[in-house]
Structures are given as structure tokens and as C-alpha cells.
Amino acid sequence: MAISLPPSGWRSRPALIRSAIYTLGLLPAVISFTLAFTDRLGADPVKTLEHDLGTMALRFLIAGLAITPLRKIGGPNLVRYRRAVGLLAFAYAVLHVTVWLWLDRGLDGAEIWKDLAKRPYIMVGMLTFLILLPLAATSTNGMIRRLGAANWQRLHKWVYVAAVAACIHFILAVKAWPPEPLIYAAITAGLLGWRTWDAWRTSIVPRSLPTAASRTPERAPTV
Ligand code: HEM
């Protein structure tokens, strides 16, 4: 029987969708930086850049957390794209922190330490970033193999802590109660609540009966 191989340069549909997610996902950053460097980002371009990049990081973090519930309630199965969404969250967090370090604080060590010590929201932002670092660093297939699926999954549960910390950082940063940070906090709380309920629900199912979750293992990285 003849085996037909795809033509060279052929890319599978998921690979194309993944490329589209990265390209479209990074587009807001390109637009924000272009506007900032051409002086079209308002009166305080650094602050606006920090806002835009920080909120994009949080949006992608939340989108990554929503992928499993979406599948379990009968929506599309986007698990294979979760790594891309998580890495986009991390990329935006890196850009957000870089803008703060470089454009806001001018890479001045004393200023940076002063801000960290004086402003709790900066400390919480740093904590969030430190949680995201190992998640991004272990997002490759090689790292999943090296850590083992169970350890890897345990480590990647920290993405929930990162999302909660990012919401607290947002609420503390705005120093008031506008609806935006509260909406993100409510969505994160809902997703965390759903995860807790789902873990409890599957734990009371007798272990001998395979659950839907155990039949379809999820090993796609969160970040
Ligand atoms: C070292 C770590 C971080 C630092 C120093 C930092 C710093 C800042 C600063 C200076 C602001 C602007 C506050 C203002 O309006 O005056 C801000 C806002 C924000 N940050 Fe961060 N951040 C960090 C990490 C993160 C991470 C990891 C995330 C998300 C995953 C995040 C999400 C946000 C959000 C959503 C805002 C609110 C945007 C606004 O309305 O200003 N930040 N952060």
C-alpha cells in the first residue's frame, strides 16, 4: 500500500492555529509599543504601556485557566493550545516587568528596591512573576518527561496562585474600586471555585470507575 507523505513545508492544522494564536496574541503588544514610540499613547505612555501589557498578561492567564472547564462543560477542546496561551501570558508579564524596570524606573537599582519595599502592589507583582518563571521554564515536552507527569501537574497548579496574586496586584495597583480589576478577580474566583468543585466531584467517584478526566489525560502545559 502506498503511503502518501505530506509535501515538504506542509504544516498540520493545529500547528497553523498555534502560529495564528502567537501572531494574533502578540499583535496588541506590537500596537502598544508602536503607539508608545511614536508618541501616540496619551499623556503618560509608560503608564499606559504598563496597563496594556499587565492586563494582557492577566487575560491570557485567565484564558489558560478557562480551557479545561470549557472542555468539560461541552465546549471545544482547546487543550492542545493551552501552552501557547500560557506562554503568551508569560511573554506579556516579561514585557510588563521590562517596561517597569527600564522605562519606568530607568534600570536604577536604588529606585527599584525603594519601590519594592514601599509599594505592596509591586511586591505582589514580583511574587506573581516569580511564580510564572518556573511554570514557563518547565513548559517544554522535555521538561514534562524529566519531571514526570504527576510532579509536573502538581507544579503547574501554581498557575491558580499566580492568577489570584495577579488580581490582588491589579486591585492594589489601581488604589480604588473600579469595575475592571473586580471583574477579573470574579472570573478567577469562579474558575478556582469550579476547579475545587471538579476535584472534589472526581475524588468521590469510586476509583475503580474510570472518569471522563482519567480517560482523556491532560498533559498540555498551562504556561
Ligand atoms: C516584578 C513584577 C511586576 C511589577 C514590578 C509590576 C508593576 C506594575 C506597575 C508599576 C503597574 C502600574 C500601576 C499604576 O497604574 O500606577 C502595574 C499594573 C498592573 N500589573 Fe503589574 N507588575 C508586575 C507583575 C505583574 C504580573 C506578573 C502581572 C500579570 C500576570 C501583572 C499585571 C498587572 C495588571 C493587570 C496591572 C493593572 C494595570 C493598570 O491599570 O495599571 N503585573 N504593574
Nearest CA to ligand 1 atom 16: 173
For ligand 1, pick from 46, 51, 123 the residue to mutate: most ligand atoms within 8 Å of CB: 51
Q: Residue 98 is placed in which grid cell? A: 521590562
Nearest CA to ligand 1 atom 31: 54
Q: What is the DSSP letter of 102?
A: I
Nearest CA to ligand 1 atom 13: 173
How far is 73 from 100, CA to CA, in rounded Å?
39
| Percent of the chain at pLDDT exceeding 70 | 87
- How do residues 142-163 score in pLDDT, each as one tens digit? 999 999 999 999 999 999 999 9
Ligand 1 centroid, distance to 50 Cα (angstroms): 6
For ligand 1, pick from 52, 55, 96 the residue to mutate: most ligand atoms within 8 Å of CB: 96
Tell the residue number behind the cell numbers 486591585, with chain if given. 171
Ligand 1 centroid, distance to 131 Cα (angstroms): 14
Whether residue 206 lies inside any domain: the answer is no
Report pTM.
0.89
Side-chain-side CA neighbours of 146 within 13 Å: the count stands at 7
Closest atom of ligand 1 relative to the 132 alpha carbon = 27
Please name the amino acid found at residue 115: D
Whether residue 4 lies inside any domain: the answer is no
* Residues with C-beta less than 6 Å from any ligand 1 atom: 47, 50-51, 54-55, 57-58, 61, 93, 96-97, 100, 104, 122, 125-126, 128-129, 132, 166, 169-170, 173-174
Whether residue 61 lies inside any domain: the answer is yes
- How do residues 41-96 score in pLDDT, each as one tens digit? 999 999 999 999 999 999 999 999 999 999 999 999 999 999 999 999 999 999 99
Instruction: Find the farthest-apart pair of alpha carbons in the chain and give their distance in angstroms, rounded.
Output: 71
The pLDDT assigned to 216 comes to: 47
CB 162 within 8 A of CB 60: no
Q: Which domain holds residue 88?
A: 22-197
Whether residue 136 lies inside any domain: the answer is yes
Average pLDDT over residues 7-19: 85
Whether residue 174 lies inside any domain: the answer is yes
Nearest CA to ligand 1 atom 23: 125
Whether residue 203 lies inside any domain: the answer is no
Structural domains in the chain (count): 1
CB 117 within 8 A of CB 159: no
**Confidence bin at 217 (pLDDT 50/70/90):** very low
Whether residue 209 lies inside any domain: the answer is no
With CA atoms as reference, report the closest residue to 213 among 78, 150, 203, 161: 203
Please name the amino acid found at residue 17: I
Whether residue 17 lies inside any domain: the answer is no
How far is 191 from 69, CA to CA, in rounded Å?
8
Query: Exposure string (b/e) for 13-43, b if CB count within 10 Å is 16 or more?
Result: eeeeebeebeeebeeebeebbebbeeeebee
Ligand 1 centroid, distance to 169 Cα (angstroms): 7
Q: Please, what is the average pLDDT of the chain?
A: 91
